[in-house]
Amino acid sequence: MIEDVHWFAGIDWATQSHSVGLLDAEGRQVARREFAHGGAGLTELCDWLLEKTKAAPGQIAVAIEMPHGPVVEMLLEHGFAVFAINPKQLDRFRDRFTVAGAKDDRRDAHVLADSLRTDRAAFRRLVVDDPTMIELREWSRMADELQQERTRLANRLRQQLWRYYPQATKLTDDVADEWFLALWQKVPTPDRAAKASEKAIARVLSVYRIRRFDAAAALKILRETPLFVAPGTTEAACAHIRSLAARLHLVNRQIKEAHQSLDRLCAELEAEEKSSGQSCGQCDVTILRSWPGIGRINLATLLAEATEPLRRRDYHALRALAGAAPVTRQSGKQRFVVRRLACNRRLQSALHHWSRVAIQRDAASRRRYDALRGRGHGHARALRSVADRLLFALCATLKRKTPYDADHNSTKNSANA
C-alpha cells in the first residue's frame, strides 16, 4: 500500500479523450468518466478527482501507461501522485480481470487503478523534470533523428552515383559530407570531370580543408573509365542528386545546431550543479565526461534517457534500462541466459558505442574485452559485458563524487576479473 494515499485513479489515455476510473482504498469503484484532451478537459479531470474524493491531491494516486506528456504534466502540476507502468506489464495485469481477453478503455482504466492499489512495486513514481533536462532530452532525440535522416539520404545519394558515376564514391566513405557535395556540384558527371581544371578542384578542397589527397589525385579518380549508361540516365540521376543534396545541406546544418545545443545544455547542467555547492570534480556532468568513450552524444543520451537511475546511482536499474543485464530463463533442469531485448533503444545504442570506444582508450576495458573474447564470447556479447562493468564503475564514481581515475579503475577491474 502507498502511505497517505486513500484513492486510486487509472487513466487510459488516447488522442481524443481519456477514460478515467476511480477506486477507494478497498478497491470499490467510486466513479468513472471520460474527459476530452485539451486544456479545459484536463483541468476538468483534476477538478473531478478532487470533487469526488474530497481529499488533497497528494492523497490521490494516479496510474497511467505513458510516463510523459501533457496529461502527466498537468497531474504533476496539480500535486497528484502519478505512477507509470509498462504497457506489457499492464497487459499481464489485465488477465486478472478477464480470461476471455476482453479489452476496452474503461476496463483498462479500472485495471490500472486496481493494480496500483495492490502492486505498487510494479509502478514507477513520476516527478517533474528539470526544465534544462527536458530541453536536453528533446535535442538529444532530435540529433538522433537527424542523424538517421542523414544516413537515409546518403544511402540514396550513393545509389544514384552507383548508377552512372561510381568512381566518385572512392573519394570518401561519407558522401553526405559538405565538401563532397560541393565537389560534386563542380564535377557532377564524368564528362565534366574530364574538362575540369586542377585549380577548380583545389579550390574546393582548400575551402573545406581536405588534405587526404590533392586535386591531381582527385581528378585521377574521377577520370577513371566511365560506365556506359543509357541516354537520359545521367541527367535523371543528377536531378535526383540535386534534390538529395539540398536536403542534406539542411540536415547537416540542423545536426550542427543540435550538437551546439547539446554542448550548451550540458554546460548549463554543469553550472547548475556547481551553483548548488558541489565542486567541479563532484558534478555529475563532469564525472560522466571524464570517462573514456563518453563524448557529446553519449553524454547527452545518458543524462536524458537515464535521469532517474543516474540520480539514484541505481546500477541495477541502469543496466536493465540500457539492456546490459542478461535475462535468465530456468524451468526444471533447463537453464539458459539470453540477451535483454526490453530496454531503452537509444540508451542501449549509447552504451554500445561507449564500450566500443572504451576498449580502444581504456586499458582495463581492453583487458576485460580480450579476456571475454578468449573465453569464446562474440564481439557484441563481449561489448555488453564491458558496458555492464563500465556502468558498475560509473555508479561507484558517482557515489564517491570523483571523476574517472585510470589507475583506480584498472586496480578494481584486475581485482574483480
Residue 385 has pLDDT above 60, yes or no: yes
Q: Distance from first CA to last CA of the chain, Å, rounded?
A: 42
pLDDT bracket for residue 411 (50, 70, 90): very low
Q: How far apart are CA 204 and CA 125, in angstroms?
A: 56
- Tens of pLDDT, residue by residue over 130-173, are 899 999 999 999 999 999 999 999 999 999 999 999 999 999 99
The predicted structure's pLDDT at residue 2: 54
324 secondary structure, DSSP code: -
Work out the burial of residue 62: count CB atoms within 10 Å of its CB; fewer than 13 is exposed, 13-18 middle, 19 or more buried: buried
Say whether pLDDT at 217 is over 70: yes
- Answer whether 416's CB lies under 8 Å from 347's CB: no
Average pLDDT over residues 401-415: 67
**Res 102 pLDDT > 90:** no
* The model's pTM: 0.85
Four-residue CA torsion sign, 274, 278, 282, 283: negative
Separation between Cα atoms, residue 69 and residue 72, nearest integer Å: 6
Distance (Å, whole) CA 64 – CA 112? 7
pLDDT of residue 1: 43
pLDDT average, residue stretch 60-72: 91
Average pLDDT over residues 351-371: 95
